Structure 1
């Protein structure tokens, strides 16, 4: 038991990637979508991914749906070449004010605007193949980002990155709400049986896939308010002063598995709809 605890503690001390859902969450959103799309769409996706060399990012391959889902985070390591896309991964709308996407999305530099932009590029057959491939990768990734609640709403704390928190009995100086929802809690929720990577029924797809990108933004923002901050701060997150470090007890963690799994499912189902509309 002592050796096990030491090993787990060492894992927590490893610096966490600064990306939504880490690899696992993004890959799962992509896998769910890939299972739902029509055969025609799936074939079109494969044809585009086979052209990965056009992007000239050999350290960030894109030959599978899983790698394509993570590509937009991988290229952050390439420095200024793709620095223009940094602000496209989030839209931190204040959870303590009425939902206002316009203010958080100035000049289209936010995740919802880029979802719509890349869907249009992907659908347009007159756009060069390289640009359509990039649009595909961005669209897959950004649909995952939008359904990470802390990329849709926050309390002026950089998407929870400044909100120190403890995950059950484990805590490190660098751990915060963002890293917990990105990684530790996401991996716990996604890996909890039964698998969410499956074929969904037409009624499930119709229910979860309905709405607009703005509707989905508002929904994810509400999850940030009610589940992320509400649970971390014990009630109304806007009526109390946040603690120096919030404690996510095992009981709280268990209660958050279902809403987090649902966000990943929604992301995959809605991504499938957008891919079918663009490629099907």
Structure 2
């Protein structure tokens, strides 16, 4: 136990160091790797060719030389500051989420006003990549954004919330792990995602045509609605012990049994994210 407690403390510190990052690195990179394993060979070649031009982005501290690098690039560039102290990528901050109220009918009109939401940006990035007149630098950026944003959309708390910043204001313990800064968003970003991804068998593999057709069915709006529903019926309902729209208590706890029941939900979201990203990449480079 003397070894376990310092380890948990270190993990908790790492978890709260980057609250804006979605799915942390493990989730985003896993979704990207699933996509890479399931795109058409020509698509894979096109992705590699474009990422070889990633130096055009002008972000040496945030490389995008591989699909795994690109999957976390959009979070990495949030930390970049220009000499005058400004953050040049602040324009994209709202593109990572679309917090649709889980206690109202599903509607993307308000959250996606002026295209400033994750689903609208996914569709925009596909269009930019399909347009051969798009400058190379813009195509590289669109590719990096697309890879990342599909991961974001499949983190349910980027698709639905209760006016609590995607669960960031909902203090939540994860089993025995309880720190003042741990919240529902962090749980789904990191701890639950890492357990779901690490549970055998590996989610990174070539999926059958039937699996791809089933898990990648629908369009971005369908996926948005599905992720929003998981936020309501799984993320919030489990933490609220049944009623996701009841007043949020000061602190919530996910016990071991609840965590175990959520693992397959999170695992399926990662798989769907990877196969849907593959579908969009094939479309973008067709």
Instruction: State TM-score, norm by structure 1.
Output: 0.98
Aligned to 1:114: 121
Q: Within 5 A, what are the aligned runs for 1:238-257?
A: 238=245, 240-257=246-263
Gaps (5+ residues) in structure 2? 82-86
Secondary structure (helix, strand or coil) at the match of 1:2 reads: coil
Report the Cα offset of residue 48 of structure 1: 0.4
Q: Is structure 2 residue 132 aligned with structure 1 residue 131?
A: no
Report the Cα offset of residue 34 of structure 1: 0.4
Report the Cα offset of residue 6 of structure 1: 2.4
Q: Within 5 A, what are the aligned runs for 1:43-82?
A: 43-79=45-81, 80-82=87-89
- Selected match of 1:19 from 18, 21, 29: 21
Q: Within 5 A, what are the aligned runs for 1:99-110?
A: 99-110=106-117
Gaps (5+ residues) in structure 1? none
Q: Is structure 2 residue 268 aligned with structure 1 residue 262?
A: yes
Report the Cα offset of residue 65 of structure 1: 0.8
Q: Within 5 A, what are the aligned runs for 1:184-263?
A: 184-238=191-245, 240-263=246-269
Count the aligned residue pairs: 279
Aligned to 2:84: none
Aligned to 1:149: 156
Distance in 1 between the 2:168 and 2:253 partners? 15
Report the Cα offset of residue 243 of structure 1: 1.6
Q: Is structure 2 residue 41 aligned with structure 1 residue 39?
A: yes
Structure 1, residues 45-94: CA drift from partner, whole Å, max 9, x if none? Answer: 00001011111100001111100000000000114211100000000000
Structure 1, residues 223-248: CA drift from partner, whole Å, max 9, x if none? Answer: 0001100000011211x222211100
Distance in 1 between the 2:214 and 2:154 partners? 16
Aligned to 1:10: 10
Aligned to 1:167: 174
Residues 92, 151 of structure 1: 8 Å contact kept: yes
Report the Cα offset of residue 177 of structure 1: 0.2
Distance in 1 between the 2:159 and 2:151 partners? 11
Aligned alpha-carbon RMSD (Å)? 0.9
Distance in 2 between the 1:185 and 1:210 partners? 25
Instruction: State TM-score, norm by structure 2.
Output: 0.96
Aligned to 1:86: 93
Residues 13, 172 of structure 1: 8 Å contact kept: no
Secondary structure (helix, strand or coil) at the match of 2:94 reads: helix
Secondary structure (helix, strand or coil) at the match of 1:193 reads: coil
Secondary structure (helix, strand or coil) at the match of 1:166 reads: strand
